[in-house]
Amino acid sequence: MWTVAAALSVAALLGAACGSSDDDEQQAATETTAANDSSAGANDATDATDAESDSAAAAAAESGADVTAEQMKAVIDGIDWPDNVEVTIGTDTWTFRSNGRPDHELPAQYLVPKPGVDARTATLDILQVSSTPDREVDVTYELPLAPKQNASATNLFGILGVIRSGGVVNDPYEADQKTIAVEATDLKIGDVTFIDSCSAHFNPMGYHYHGIPYCMTEVLDSPGQHSALRGFMVDGFPVYGPQGDDGAEETDLDECRGHFGPTPEFPDGIYHYHLTSTFPYTTLCLMGTPEDSSMQMPDMGGQTAP
Ligand SMILES: [Zn+2]
Ligand SMILES: [Zn+2]
């Protein structure tokens, strides 16, 4: 069960993790980038060689060109979205809306916190077997069509992205900020598990993945090739399964588990994230600007009893 106390403790954690000096540094870094970006833009329009000497432009060239809204629209339009996902494409943004459920199969039961327990510590003694919930929740995210990378990462907890199945992707932790969901394989009663074979489970905000959605990976990915698109993080950049260009697990990733490079949907290259088989499995930060409504919500320790 998620409580106000849990929210407060996470707020405190966030506060503790983001000391004031770090905040100032990050703020300064962001402002510097914004200034450099606009000057690089002006240089691009007038004199390409000047832009090369601009450090921000050089860094941008190194990390690759930004994807355009037109390219992104074409990709989003081309995705075979399931019936439970409604996509609306606007001018600068697009909206992902789902019923908070995935279109793939689910187990009949999950381990969930017993009613009334403090679910911030996921241990076997507070869990019980429960039927898979059938309720729906409204999941709506408005994402940029032309996402931009920032100079520094933004740390986030809670929902970090939307997955094409209709579910969402969270950070690796449960509400206690200690239990790493996909590693909690000891949380099992009989055949009933805390996390399903798709590295996911329910909480009151819907179905959320904590790692590689293997049940989709097996269907969508081909040996020897870059993983297929899984969805989009709340900063607008796409997220993929673990496979890099040669089909092996991508290892050359930044602190947010992203990198610039070609993908099946963006052959000219785009900054994108990979879900990985090692910690943090998803990510704990984003390099773009998260959507305004993406609250820094804690995970809710599975779910309350349906
Ligand atoms: Zn990649
Ligand atoms: Zn969870």
pLDDT at 39 over 80: no
> pLDDT band at 275, cuts 50/70/90?
very high
Query: If you measure from the C-alpha of residue 303 to the centroid of ligand 2, how many angstroms do you get, rounded to a whole number?
Result: 8
pLDDT at 25 over 50: no
Angle at 38 between CA 34 and CA 44, to 5 degrees: 140
Extract the runs of DSSP E, i.e. beta strands, from 115-236. 127-131, 139-144, 154-155, 159-163, 168-170, 188-189, 192-193, 200-203, 206-209, 229-233
Element (H, E) at 215: helix 214-220
**Joined tokens for residue 8:** 């407060």
- Measured from the alpha carbon of residue 113, the closest ligand is 2
- Domain boundary assignment for the chain: 4-286
Predicted pLDDT of residue 17:
32
- Measured from the alpha carbon of residue 195, the closest ligand is 2
Ion ligand 1 contact residues with beta carbon within 5 A: 261
Query: If you measure from the C-alpha of residue 4 to the centroid of ligand 2, how many angstroms do you get, rounded to a whole number?
Result: 17
Query: If you measure from the C-alpha of residue 184 to the centroid of ligand 2, how many angstroms do you get, rounded to a whole number?
Result: 11
Query: If you measure from the C-alpha of residue 114 to the centroid of ligand 1, how many angstroms do you get, rounded to a whole number?
Result: 40
Query: If you measure from the C-alpha of residue 181 to the centroid of ligand 2, how many angstroms do you get, rounded to a whole number?
Result: 6
Tens-digit pLDDT profile for residues 172-223: 999 888 889 999 988 999 999 999 999 999 998 899 999 999 887 767 788 9
Tens-digit pLDDT profile for residues 116-136: 887 667 788 889 999 999 999
- Measured from the alpha carbon of residue 254, the closest ligand is 1
Query: Which residues, at least 6 apart from 286, have a Cβ–Cβ distance to it below 8 Å?
Result: 153, 154, 156, 160, 233, 234, 235, 237, 256
Ion ligand 2 contact residues with beta carbon within 5 A: 181, 299
